[in-house]
Structure 1
């Protein structure tokens, strides 16, 4: 197992390979999820040495947090786990509303503590920015809750670069989670210079671009879930992306490694990316993701992969 890495400037440290859990109880995102399979997924991750378990109110909604809370309670392993979850949105008459108000944040942190059956959350994110609350005020509320011992580190997700700067006006933001992968590299200019300068850990979501960068699909594959509408999986773009993945496969094969592990190792080789949280639907995928830590990329290989996806 590798050395633990620090989340921003917080006192929280974890293995750099975490687990994204939108397929654990995320019935609103994926059809036909088996909750027992989801719970076993989390159990296997913890038993295998993964610490950072990333969930959200939105997954389910609510159900992912509840299932993860059940697993941690059943295993009696709270101290081994770095629990990350995300506040919002709120549901009013079956509509989703974004709310960063102080009252909502305070009540939602308490509700998340109950769902997760714990008395503290290691990393609490604002999942989405609302249009009215000053971002530094919202983060100030999370800072109060951190001072009260309810949360240990503060994150934001899906904020624009300007919103991130406003949120971090007082230097309280530890983590930014945003879209970044080899097919979506805008964060290299938009976010990473700022997050590096201010010691904010950047955690990419969709690091394997919903599986396409894992090297497991061919041109004939037909998708029946949320991927069916994603641009990376459409027509000529899909074919072009698969061709790029095949170029990475040559590098992976020469090293005796799997494509997914080489791609994930490439992220960890980027300055400012401290953690990755690939999702999984099966326990064997969780254990497979951990093999990333054994991959050693040369400077030439890192540059070659970067060039393939320019």
Structure 2
């Protein structure tokens, strides 16, 4: 989820209504357009003005205040969603080679211990695996996670797997749920995985039921989550994630919000859980209870277990 774009825009004098619209975006989403990014903000807003046939920012601000549903369109417009399958392959290699084998071993030990305990429910819930993809864009990331799980876990059908994937953009979620990707967007997927997990169609392919059955797409406004609200489609089962992907999202928040986001992501992780961040999102400047994973060839952090 990345603010900005490359559309041409007309030069305009400083406008107080533009700043007020920018404040509204920040209030709703915590997306932070610093002065150096103001031209990007103008680009996107100019596009929306043209779509609505409005003459200036003042008119749009009035429209925004009179039509609350317009906020969804505005936030959609202010995010550009550059993503692709198997983005940052080192992270998926670490997930495949380190994180999942460790989880299999730990959960296997828990299961064996439960067999010797009376009234234990035979380890009910032990083999549950929960992953969050925050800022999932058009779905490439969670479907990549799903393929990695299915290809790596020795007995994937023995697991109760749930990948919760959320984004603030309704248009992106629509694409993700439909699961159709043009041929050029499939190029980073190994051909044998395309044949195994996708159904070919005109101009591309559609994610198959095996992938789609593992992923639950939900509207997710991280601003609301940081404020302690539950996502509207998740009244229960929020938190306790074994793995969280939140990549190339944090850099578009203000520094104070970045700290709050780190604290929030840590809170959502189960003890010992892993957080994958973007290449430009190291956490060394923030206070948290996460430890950088040593010897990893990518940015990945683990929540301390004994707190």
Q: TM-score, normalised by structure 1?
A: 0.27
Larger radius of gyration: 2
> Which structure ranks higher in relative contact order (CA pairs < 8 Å, sequence separation ≥ 6)?
1
Higher strand share: 2
